[in-house]
A and B are shown apart, each in its own frame.
Chain A
Amino acid sequence: MKKKRGVKKWRIALFFAIVAALAGLIAANVMDHADDIKLGLDLQGGFEVLYEVTPISDNQEIDRELLTDTVSAINARIDVLGVSEPNVSIEGDDRIRVQLAGVTDQQAARELLSTEARLSFRDVNDNLMLDGSDLVEGGARQSFHQDTNRPIVTVTIQDANLFGDVTREIMEMRPDNQMAIWLDYDEEDSFDEEIMKEDSKIISAPNVDEVLRTTDIMITGDFTIEEAQNLAGILNAGALPVELEEIYSNSVGASLGERAMDLAITAGFIGIALIFAYMLLYYRFMGIIAVITLTVYIYFVLVVFNWMNAVLTLPGIAALILGVGMAVDANIITYERIKDELRSGKSTMSAFKAGSRRSLSTILDANITTILAAGVLFYFGTSAVQGFAVMLITSILVSFITAVYGSRLLLGLWVNSRILNKKPKLFGVKESEISEL
């Protein structure tokens, strides 16, 4: 040990420099990071659907490849909808979860997602005349009827003669000379039943009175412009290779979502303020260090969360606040150790050293077991639970760095400056509690 026992002021200056730098960093872009975080459905409104994927035909097997194909098909459809941040994910062996935040017309979105987009042309007895394989790929367009100016959808057929034969055949069936244009015909469907339904799978059923030898087919349904655009869009996006069955859906109104978020954020601030007050009151000088490291912790969690492109949900906010608890625990464990060492009569400097060292293995063991549990949760959980697990793991890792190393660095600067020597009161230790070594 050096003979000179004076106070090393540069360490304290360094402490303030670090704190000022951190404060500047946080003040400069905490709002940017907070604004950039993607919010879950429960916080901004929108809807999610969980689909079960079932094969279209008997000889089809649902495997990973088929599921990825389906996901890309769904993504192509969402492009038609123009949703900004869709989230389509495969879950388990035969599930696909679609989350669309901020969609206004849910009905249209749902129809668009789950339709197989198999177009077929049939006679009134449900005999197949033409199907999607006879059409030119990507040849669907929304346009307007020359005479009525109503929105229509045109598709292009590969062979004009084929369409001529079909129209002749149907024309000769008079008086049942209707050509039914089906979307997603199933074997159990029948023309007579379906045409009566309000929400029919038959898009239109025009009478055929002449032989049409053409490659351009007009579909004149009872469309709005948007509906016609959507239909053209999904026909071009291609048919789904599978059938999708809705097994879970959740939709959140935008105002309810906002309200939930406002409440959770307010609650978070109150909780954190209480923790800060308690730490300052109980740990005195070390409490100040705790408050600084906890603030830095919250900031870093936001930054890391942003980097991961994670989506913040209600359970996520709860996990974040709980993560504050974990960070607090790491601080408390260390400070209690330091107090123990001070009470046993050690000098401030050696109490700090011993306390930091001895608390490390405790914090490490406690955190690793919790991460272990969170990891299992992530691996086996579904989206809501997974989001929570990710948040918990992130929290624990960041809290470990800030509460252990951040706290050690900042407190170390003060302790090693020797300014705190022989001032146990600042650590919340009474003189009377200290036993002689």
Chain B
Amino acid sequence: MNFEHEATKLDFVKHRKKFFLFSAALLTVGIILLSTIGLNLGIDFSSGTTMDVLAEDTVTEEEIAEEFASVGLTPDDIILAGDNNDVGRASFIGVLSQSEVLEAQRHFEDVYGNTPTVSSVTPIVGEELARNALISVLIATVGIIIYVSIRFEFWYGIAAIIALFHDALFILTFFSIIQMEVNIPFIAAVLTIIGYSINDTIVTFDRIRENMKLEKKVRGFEDLARIVNKSLVQTLARSINTVLTVVFAAGALLIFGGEGIRTFSLALVVGLIAGTYSSLFIAAQLWLTFKTRQLKRARFKSKQLQESESEA
């Protein structure tokens, strides 16, 4: 992929309203879904116990259920995982007692020769973690706005932050639709995406800033649109190559990384793509909208100023 800057006639700005509409519609659906169905919260966010049983060979849900029954336990849910369905994950609502857990662990050690992995949690811990993550993001947001305002300009910061929340909400919506279980590493993934999204947006903005400096006079929308288009085309090869390579890494984790990090890696892949989309089609275009308005207001003000001066 090579993009000859001058020859390429890609007009991102022209279609910006469609992108805004698309994202707005998607995110509205997302908010509705999140507030109705919500996310499929894993054991980390609800009260309960999960036990991952690694068998020697392919197992069925019935087999696992029978084995649990023999130690007097009835799982509320059993799912199979692993390449050959040789991992059974049993979930229990409510925390199992230590003795129940140990008895089950000993039993499965005898049966399959592997000690099951057990996680149990009371709801406070998961809720706290999610709350802390949200607070961290809000604090990071303020920090990023301050940094970007100093290095760039206030409106770049605001557009970058909107893109950031766009990407975070996008992953949440996606997981609300597919109803895949959400765990603590998922939070790490969302936070990574936020980091990537901001990284990606800043690189694009950096080029816009540079091109703004090259312009002698920026009068209004037309000039700004030309600058944004030029900047996006100039950074397009980089944007695509970077997202491709990062998706290679995250995709390899998704396909070959195993059950333990499946949620994590899927969230990464989806988020990376959303992050690139938002830098190109949302962040830069939002900045364009903000900046146009700011220019108009500035002109209006200076006009007023001139008039009042002439009156005096």
| Complex contacts, A34 vs chain B, CB 8 Å | none
- Please pick, from B117, B257, B258, B264, the residue contacting A252 in the complex, using a CB distance under 8 A: B117
| Residues of B195-228 whose CB lies within 8 A of A | 195-196, 198-200, 202-203, 206-207, 210
Structural contact, A332 and B252, CB atoms closer than 8 A: no
Report how far A107 CA is from B125 CA in the complex, Å.
22
Q: Does A384 have its Cβ within 8 Å of any Cβ on chain B?
A: yes
Q: Does B248 have its Cβ within 8 Å of any Cβ on chain A?
A: yes
Interface of B is mostly: helix
Structural contact, A45 and B115, CB atoms closer than 8 A: yes
Q: Does A162 have its Cβ within 8 Å of any Cβ on chain B?
A: no
Q: A322-B192, A340-B234 are in contact. Are A369 and B198 (CB under 8 A)?
A: yes
| Complex contacts, A368 vs chain B, CB 8 Å | 147
Structural contact, A385 and B133, CB atoms closer than 8 A: yes
Q: Does B148 have its Cβ within 8 Å of any Cβ on chain A?
A: yes
Report how far A315 CA is from B188 CA in the complex, Å.
8
Closest residue of chain B to A380, judged by CB?
B136
Structural contact, A324 and B249, CB atoms closer than 8 A: yes
Report how far A151 CA is from B185 CA in the complex, Å.
46
Q: A381-B133, A382-B132 are in contact. Are A329 and B199 (CB under 8 A)?
A: yes
Report how far A163 CA is from B206 CA in the complex, Å.
81
Report how far A271 CA is from B246 CA in the complex, Å.
9
| Complex contacts, B305 vs chain A, CB 8 Å | none
Structural contact, A247 and B147, CB atoms closer than 8 A: no
Q: Does B255 have its Cβ within 8 Å of any Cβ on chain A?
A: yes
Q: Does A59 have its Cβ within 8 Å of any Cβ on chain B?
A: no
| Complex contacts, A255 vs chain B, CB 8 Å | 54, 114-115
Report how far A367 CA is from B47 CA in the complex, Å.
38
Q: A373-B198, A381-B132 are in contact. Are A318 and B245 (CB under 8 A)?
A: no
Structural contact, A264 and B257, CB atoms closer than 8 A: yes
Q: Does A133 have its Cβ within 8 Å of any Cβ on chain B?
A: no
The interface size of chain B toward A, counting residues with CB under 8 Å, comes to 77
Q: Does B308 have its Cβ within 8 Å of any Cβ on chain A?
A: no
Closest residue of chain A to B241, judged by CB?
A332
Closest residue of chain A to B260, judged by CB?
A260
Q: A376-B136, A382-B132 are in contact. Are A370 and B125 (CB under 8 A)?
A: no
Report how far A247 CA is from B188 CA in the complex, Å.
22
Report how far A328 CA is from B242 CA in the complex, Å.
7
| Complex contacts, A373 vs chain B, CB 8 Å | 140, 143-144, 191, 194-195, 198
Q: A315-B264, A328-B245 are in contact. Are A384 and B188 (CB under 8 A)?
A: yes
Q: Does B187 have its Cβ within 8 Å of any Cβ on chain A?
A: yes
| Complex contacts, A263 vs chain B, CB 8 Å | 256-258, 260
| Complex contacts, A271 vs chain B, CB 8 Å | 248-253
| Residues of B1-31 whose CB lies within 8 A of A | 2, 4-5
* Interface hit among A78-86, A184-192, A272-280, A406-414: A272-280
Could you mark each residue 149-177 of chain A with 1 if its beta carbon is under 8 Å from any beta carbon of chain B, else 0? 00000000000000000000000000000
| Complex contacts, A315 vs chain B, CB 8 Å | 185, 188, 261, 264
Structural contact, B195 and A392, CB atoms closer than 8 A: yes
Report how far A332 CA is from B129 CA in the complex, Å.
36
Structural contact, B185 and A270, CB atoms closer than 8 A: no
- Please pick, from B187, B235, B265, the residue contacting A385 in the complex, using a CB distance under 8 A: B187
| Complex contacts, A107 vs chain B, CB 8 Å | 98, 102
18 A-B pairs (CB sep. < 8 Å): A45-B115, A199-B99, A255-B54, A264-B261, A270-B252, A274-B249, A275-B248, A278-B244, A314-B260, A321-B253, A324-B249, A332-B241, A332-B242, A370-B195, A372-B147, A376-B137, A384-B185, A392-B195
Beyond A257-B117, A274-B245, A325-B245, 5 extra complex contacts between A and B, CB < 8 Å: A248-B122, A267-B253, A319-B188, A368-B147, A372-B144
Please give the residue numbers on chain A whose beta carbons come within 8 Å of chain B beta carbons, in ascending order.
42, 45, 50, 106-107, 110, 199, 247-257, 259-260, 263-264, 266-268, 270-272, 274-275, 278-279, 282, 314-315, 317-319, 321-322, 324-326, 328-329, 332-333, 336, 340, 343, 358, 361-362, 365-370, 372-374, 376-377, 379-382, 384-385, 388-389, 392, 428, 430, 433
